[in-house]
Amino acid sequence: MMNYEETLEYIYNRMPLFQMVGKSGYKEGLDSMIALSERLGSPHCSFKSIHVGGTNGKGSCSHTLASLLQQHGFKVGLFTSPHLKDFRERIRVNGEMVPQSFVINFIEKHKSFFEECYPSFFEVSFGMAMDYFRQEKVDYAVIEVGLGGRLDSTNIISPILSVITNISLDHQNILGNTEQDIAREKAGIIKQATPVVIGESQGEIRQIFLEKAEAMNAPIFFADETSVQKLGEEIADDVPYQLFKIGEKKVQTPLMGDYQMKNMTTCRIAFDLIRIIERLDMTEEEIQNGFKNVIQNTHLLGRWQILSRKPYTVCDTGHNVGGITYVAKQLRNTPHEKLHIVFGMVGDKDVSHVLELLPKEATYYFTRASIKRAMEQDKLQALAAEKGLIGESYPTVKEALSAAQKSAGEKDLIYIGGSTYVVAEIL
């Protein structure tokens, strides 16, 4: 039998990981996933689920909804992607990663099927998660969509609630070239007679969701129709929190990105619906603690994560136009003397438009994560120079961060991002 490292090597080599190789690792359609699910005995039918899609914010929302359910004492499965440090981050029960032994045994048990039917890496990961959640007898599973929605492997589930956070340009080579095209793909998770929460209305896109919901007889709710304001920030037990007023309720979250105001509004509306659907008798204090304890409950990483105070150093997994728009604004609003940006991207993103959003007054340290999809640091440096962004290039993330740390003073700000994989390498 293989050990854990050998098992991972088998998974990565046998089933190319989209995050590593791009479009060639993406498998369109549900036939293969349905076949794998049937082999496993349709484990996704053995628990209730919440389906979370969208371009940005679906990871933060998935973790927060899982935390809220955990806080009420439920056993909660959480399936997310990509992972930052360990494959097992994708599959958690009450915050704890799937054991290495389960990963090994699952692959050994179904190896002959994989070699006959060639499922994708993501299909295998999702099948493994469903099998594990059934074994663990979870009450609920929060399932984050991988890519798109309509043809995503996760779209075999029949959730009690669907959530679509927002729409931004991302993965155009697969999902379509306009926000409307992408919205139609994401709207594919809206199910017959199943309520759906939309995080952001976004003009013309609103109509696409309304039409899909009407066709599916699905009650639809727009979270951004609820009033929300930021009340401020505070530090408790050395942990920083943001405070929001959403409708008439206060929400406290340790997720410090400015964009979390929209995510937390989406989560509050979604969770209030879950309480109604499931008739949950939950106190307001339990709900507040669910928001407040999201990192403790689910071990979420990489969302405006503060790594150091002197100099103030943060990383964030925002990696497309929508995500970087918020990051760039927050960088400008965070007090600092000089700004240092350690930055790398994958080549199949809208690199040009992302670079246009970044602050020109920063010193840049261009780099690349150690994956095939990563854009060469020298090419990124050249493209950035055309947009007025000046800096040196470094062959590894570690070297780029080290150079930034040597240059930065105590009152400076260091930001690390551009790609989830750049963040993964420094965590």
What pLDDT does residue 176 have?
52
Contacts of 323 (CB under 8 A, 6+ apart): 56, 168, 259, 316, 317
What pLDDT does residue 170 have?
57
What pLDDT does residue 177 have?
60
pTM (2 d.p.): 0.90
What pLDDT does residue 23 have?
45
Contacts of 174 (CB under 8 A, 6+ apart): 23, 26, 28, 147, 148
What pLDDT does residue 175 have?
58
In DSSP terms, 339 is beta-bridged to 413
* CA 322 to chain CA centroid, nearest Å: 13
The structural domains of the chain, ordered by start, are 4-298 (3.40.1190.10), 305-426 (3.90.190.20)
- Give backbone dihedrals phi and psi of 136, rounded to 5 degrees, phi first: -80, -5
| C-alpha–C-alpha distance, residues 353 and 315, integer Å | 20
Instruction: Give average pLDDT by consecutive 10-residue segment, the chain, 427 residues.
Output: 92 65 54 94 97 93 98 97 92 98 97 88 96 98 91 95 86 62 91 96 89 97 96 89 95 92 97 97 94 96 90 89 87 94 87 92 95 91 96 96 96 94 91
Instruction: Look up residue 186 and give its two tokens.
Output: 């994401």
DSSP, res 363: E
Q: Any alpha helices (H) in 216-336, and if so which ranges?
A: 260-278, 284-292, 294-298, 321-333
3-state DSSP assignment of residue 368: coil
Within a 10 A sphere around the Cβ of 70, how many other Cβ atoms?
25
Contact 26, 174 (CB under 8 A): yes
What pLDDT does residue 371 have?
84
3-state DSSP assignment of residue 55: coil
List the one residue out of 72, 58, 94 whose CA is nearest residue 290. 72
